[in-house]
Amino acid sequence: MDLAHRKLPGADKRVQLMATCICDAFYADVARATVEVLEYLGCRVEFPEGQTCCGQPAFNGGDWPNSRKVVRHTVRTFAGELPVVLPSGSCAAMMFHGALLEFEQEADLPAVQQLASRTWELADFIVNGLGVKSWPGKLDATIAFHRACHTRGTGSGDAALGLLSSIAGLKVAPFGEGEQCCGFGGTFSVSFPNVSAGMGELKLEHIRAAQPDFLVSGDMSCMMHLGGLAEKEGKPIRTQHFVQVLRDALKNGGLL
């Protein structure tokens, strides 16, 4: 998928929000912050009520017929020409990469491609879709930023980091082995619980050494895993989506 030539927002900045199933079920505030931030930027956010999941769990599990069933539903639900914005690099990559792989031999591949060509991860959309390069407001905090793996090879990681770094008062603390995965990996987290937890513990060790006030990422699945692991160990850490940080900076600066 050629990410450089995706559908840009029109003059009216209408977008469709794919909230993702994990925010729909666990992280309502992330979906809400996404709406608030997009609206602050002048977008008109539509939320197709029929949306469920991007289809990734079955895709990663190897059950492609069941995954395709869900992708087809998603393609129908997000019909039209508007950019589709997701607060998740992982679900976005499912739409513009994974789904194309599992539809290679399918007759309705063009419909999947059409959706892929207008799918945006949120930070990528703000920076490269809307052209917003720095973030107003303020927030006095030190954060650690976990670059979620599904944004490798996309503009999302740099986009989110660029926005966060530009917030007045906010300090982004680097930590060791930043390129390493947190160990979530979808169904991997339950079929390889020991390896998954081992990876997560290493990540937490590096993050704690940087002494951030909280941990930030563009994927709540990584945060659910790392946050859950830390809490289970009895050493909880605060986790947030970067869009919550953007929203809080606006509020703090009296802009929202």
Positions in 22-61 near another protein (CB under 8 A): 23-29, 31-32, 35, 39, 44, 47, 49-53, 55, 57-61
Query: Scanning the structure block, which residue is given the tokens 């990540």?
Result: 203
The sign of the torsion formed by the CA atoms of 163, 169, 174, 178 equals negative
Alpha helices (H) along 166-219: 188-191, 193-209
Positions in 60-89 near another protein (CB under 8 A): 60-64, 66-67, 69-70, 72-73, 77
Positions in 92-151 near another protein (CB under 8 A): 98, 101-102, 149-150
86 φ/ψ angles, rounded to the nearest 5 degrees: -130, 135
Binding mask 144-183 for another protein (x = CB under 8 A): -----xx-xx-----------------------x-xxx-x
Angle, to 10 degrees, between the axis of helix 156-165 and the axis of helix 242-252? 20
Kindly state whether residue 256 participates in binding another protein, applying the rule CB under 8 A: no
Kindly state whether residue 190 participates in binding another protein, applying the rule CB under 8 A: yes
Kindly state whether residue 192 participates in binding another protein, applying the rule CB under 8 A: yes
Count the site residues for another protein by CB under 8 A: 73
Question: Residue 37: left (phi > 0), alpha (psi -120 to 50), or beta?
Answer: alpha
181: nearest Cα among 215, 226, 212, 133: 226
Taking the least distance from each CB to another protein, the nearer of 73 and 171 is 73
